[in-house]
Amino acid sequence: MPSEPSAPSEPFPGSRPTLEAVAARAGVSRATASRVVRGGAGVREALAEKVRGAVAELGYVPNHAARTLVTRRTGAVAVIIAEPEVRIFSDPFFSRQIRGISRELSAHDTQLVLLLLDGPGDHDRLARYLAGGHADGALAFSLHTDDPIPAIIRRAGMPTVYGGRPAADPAAVRYVDADNRGGARAAVRYLRGLGRRRIAHIAGPLDQTSALDRLDGYREEQAPGADPALIAEGAFTVESGALAMAELLARCPGLDAVFAANDLMASGALRVLKEHGRTVPGDVALVGFDDMDAVAEVTDPPLTTVRQDVEGMGRLMARLLLRDLGRARPEQGGVRPEGDVRPEDGIRPEDGSAPASVITPTTLIRRASA
């Protein structure tokens, strides 16, 4: 005997209506009801209409667990963020990226499960989570050279896209990164165009590829044989920028420009420059990186800086992953093999090898500091 002879037109308090109830209500089999709920291909319109009616009256919503159990697809993507450093949350970088990711995922009815790892203790949890089949794919941010997380993810064997080029074996994975090197070059070139000749650099922590790439870009635009004393390493924080600046002033009192690897460090540098009686941009021109508006627009003077489209990068990460999951966006037109990502989205890395990673462009934003 099938469930209720006649389902109530209002959803039950507590237990939600099942497909069985919808089928009964519409006078069809569960199979047909299921077909209609999933798009209705191959069902006579008359019946489909009845089923849709029943769905509406009953307020039916598919049970996700049941569906996942049989399809083996969760409709969810894990976003993995390791945060050994507090820094991550004192700048809006991740927020922005996540917003881009979220937008793209929800456009494809995919849920975002956020995994914030607090330290090595959480690695087990991550492994268990991925193994448990909670998510169909993963988006991860590669932070440090020696991060064990990529290995854990690889072991889980699910499609993954990284945010930022991983330090280890970047050719083996898919990633989306800003054109850090190009952005740095543009910054230095701009300073040179201003007539500056003794351009210092405050680098980020050199176990992160973004910091390394910016340093590389800086070096490439320097006059050959430039003084290595013009480079100081910071940690992407305000304080470290201040420290580095003090060090640079001591070593090279004659510097007339500074390119800092991010805005936070630039703001620290700015403070120290003022304390030492240097005017900005008069005595020293200053350029940052990130265009983190909460900082760059707030300093005095506001920072000239290199902008990266963080939200766009997030969207791109999600899009790449969805493609791997076989859920490329339909409204985007036909999906060309390896072609979902259009030229405007970024620049392909030279190698052009298997996992098509994407490098997104940066722009120099002129404000008052240089």
Residue 77, beta-bridge partner list: 112, 137
- Give the nearest distance from C-beta 16 to DNA in angstroms: 7
Residue 259, beta-bridge partner list: 201, 287
Among 28, 140, 264, 306, binds a second copy (CB under 8 A): 264
Stretch that binds DNA, among 32-40, 194-202, 267-275, 342-350 (CB under 7 A): 32-40
Q: Which does 47 bind (CB under 5 to 8 A by kind): DNA, a second copy, none?
A: DNA
Q: Which does 56 bind (CB under 5 to 8 A by kind): DNA, a second copy, none?
A: none
Q: Does 85 bind a second copy (CB under 8 A)?
A: no
- Give the nearest distance from C-beta 138 to a second copy in angstroms: 14
Residue 358, beta-bridge partner list: 176
Query: How buried is residue 216: exposed, middle or buried, by Cβ count under 10 Å (0-12/13-18/19+)?
Result: middle
Q: For residues 321 and 111, give the distance between their C-alpha atoms in angstroms, rounded to a whole number.
A: 13
Q: Does 354 bind a second copy (CB under 8 A)?
A: no
**Under rule CB under 8 A, which residues in 13-72 are in contact with a second copy?**
16, 59, 61-66, 68-69
Q: Which does 89 bind (CB under 5 to 8 A by kind): DNA, a second copy, none?
A: a second copy
Q: Does 128 bind DNA (CB under 7 A)?
A: no
* Exposure string over 76-89, b if 16+ CB within 10 A, otherwise e: bbbbbbbbeeebbe
**How many CA atoms does the CB half-sphere of 201 hold within 13 Å?**
28
Among 70, 146, 195, 228, binds DNA (CB under 7 A): 70
Rg (CA), the chain: 26
Query: How buried is residue 224: exposed, middle or buried, by Cβ count under 10 Å (0-12/13-18/19+)?
Result: exposed
- Give the nearest distance from C-beta 6 to DNA in angstroms: 16
Residue reference for tokens 């993507």: 77
Q: For residues 134 and 113, give the distance between their C-alpha atoms in angstroms, rounded to a whole number.
A: 9
Stretch that binds DNA, among 34-42, 81-89, 158-166, 341-349 (CB under 7 A): 34-42
Which is nearer to DNA, 60 or 259 (by Cβ)?
A: 60
Dihedral sign (CA 74, 79, 80, 86): negative
Q: Could you tell me the CA-to-CA distances from 272 to 235, 241, 266, 268, 284 in Å, in that order?
A: 16, 9, 10, 7, 12
Stretch that binds a second copy, among 48-56, 85-93, 171-179, 247-255 (CB under 8 A): 85-93
Q: Does 28 bind DNA (CB under 7 A)?
A: yes
Residues in contact with DNA, shown as a per-residue x/- string from 38 to 57 under the rule CB under 7 A? x---xxx-xxx---------
Crossing angle between the packed helical segments 310-324 and 93-106, to the nearest 10 degrees: 40
DSSP 8-state symbol, 140: E
Q: Which does 90 bind (CB under 5 to 8 A by kind): DNA, a second copy, none?
A: a second copy
Among 173, 292, 318, 341, binds a second copy (CB under 8 A): 292
Q: Which does 38 bind (CB under 5 to 8 A by kind): a second copy, DNA, none?
A: DNA
Cβ of 337: how many Cβ atoms within 10 Å?
5
Residue 222: in which H helix or E strand, if any? Answer: none
Q: For residues 203 and 228, give the distance between their C-alpha atoms in angstroms, rounded to a whole number.
A: 12
Among 11, 62, 301, 355, binds DNA (CB under 7 A): 62
Residues in contact with a second copy, shown as a per-residue x/- string from 102 to 131 under the rule CB under 8 A? xx--x--x-xxxxxx-x---x--x--xx-x
Residue reference for tokens 């339909």: 330
Q: Does 302 bind DNA (CB under 7 A)?
A: no
In the complex, the residues that contact a second copy under the rule CB under 8 A are 16, 59, 61-66, 68-69, 74, 76, 79, 83, 88-92, 94-96, 98-99, 102-103, 106, 109, 111-116, 118, 122, 125, 128-129, 131-134, 238, 264, 267, 270-271, 274, 292-295, 297-300
In the complex, the residues that contact DNA under the rule CB under 7 A are 15, 18-20, 28-32, 34-35, 37-38, 42-44, 46-48, 60, 62-63, 66-67, 69-71
